[in-house]
Amino acid sequence: MARLIVTPGPSPARLATGGPPPPRGFTLIEVLVAISVMALMSLMAWRGLDGMLRTQSSLQSRSDEIRTLQAGLAQWQTDLDQLAELPGTPSWGWDGRVLRLTRRTAEAPATAPQTMALPSVRVVAWTWRSDPGRPGGGDWQRWQSAPLTQRQDWQTAWALAQQWGQTPDDNTRAGHIQIHPLSGWQLFVHRGGSWTHPLSSDAVTSGPPAPGNEAPSQTQSGTTPDGVRLMLTLPPGPAGSGTLSLDWVRPTLSGTPS
């Protein structure tokens, strides 16, 4: 005998008042669609965040490279501005590989005697050193001595600067700083009212030399030139590429080199 099952419907009071139907849950398809949409939005947000982080890292690397190069150029100008022209002590020396300078310094050793043979000076040196593992094939580098007040100590530091330019060792690495990767550099001097041609004895070309443009081997030592033109060949990198030129004029010069 068949049984009749009756499902209770809305109460007469609900029907009389026209109230809302009882709440119902989400279906499985609706839940899956919502999860898929949220997963897609999360993926898009992650890709956007990753792109922002990559851009920030690239900008930071570029900023660091530019600041490093600017600091090196500022140090170059400071060394030239503070050149010490002392009797019997060359302020400028070039040996075909390293540029040596004698510059003033406000620092003095704590054990300096009361009578000093020299005012407090430093010996600094600049060079381009070949390094196949670096961008552009080399680095622009600087070396400096401790503050000096005795002529004998200056002579020792002057010789160490030349040694550092040729074959650095443990005695010279303490004052060594690696400035910036370079493909090469050129240096021109202004004497006698004109800039010296790169093939002359007063100019130097370092880095891979062009045919017929090899650097001179003779030593150039003596007084400060009227002006110095520095030309750096930058390899492709965050700081840019190409040739960067910087002119320096001796502060005591009465006229500006042309």
Residues of the chain whose pLDDT is less than 70? Answer: 1-24, 58, 106-118, 197-222, 254-258
Specify the number of domains making up the chain: 1
Q: Tell me if 66 is assigned to some domain.
A: no
Q: What pLDDT score does 10 carry?
A: 55
pLDDT at position 114: 46
User: Looking at residue 92, what is its pLDDT?
Assistant: 87
**What is the spatial distance between Cα 65 and Cα 36, in angstroms, rounded to a whole number?**
44
Domain annotation covers residue 124: yes
Q: What is the pLDDT of residue 109?
A: 44
| 43 contact partners, CB below 8 Å, separation of at least 6 | none
Q: Residue 11: inside a domain, yes or no?
A: no
As a dihedral over the C-alpha atoms of residue 65, residue 70, residue 75, residue 81, rounded to 10 degrees, the angle is 170
Domain range for 137 is 83-249
What are 211-258's pLDDT values in tens digits?
334 444 333 445 778 888 999 998 887 777 788 899 998 887 765 444
> pTM of the predicted model, to two decimals?
0.68
pLDDT at 221: 47
Confidence at residue 254, expressed as pLDDT on a 0 to 100 scale? 66
178 closest CA partner among 192, 168, 193: 168
State whether residue 65 is helix, strand or coil.
Answer: helix
- Provide the pLDDT for residue 106: 66
The confidence score (pLDDT) of residue 3 equals 53
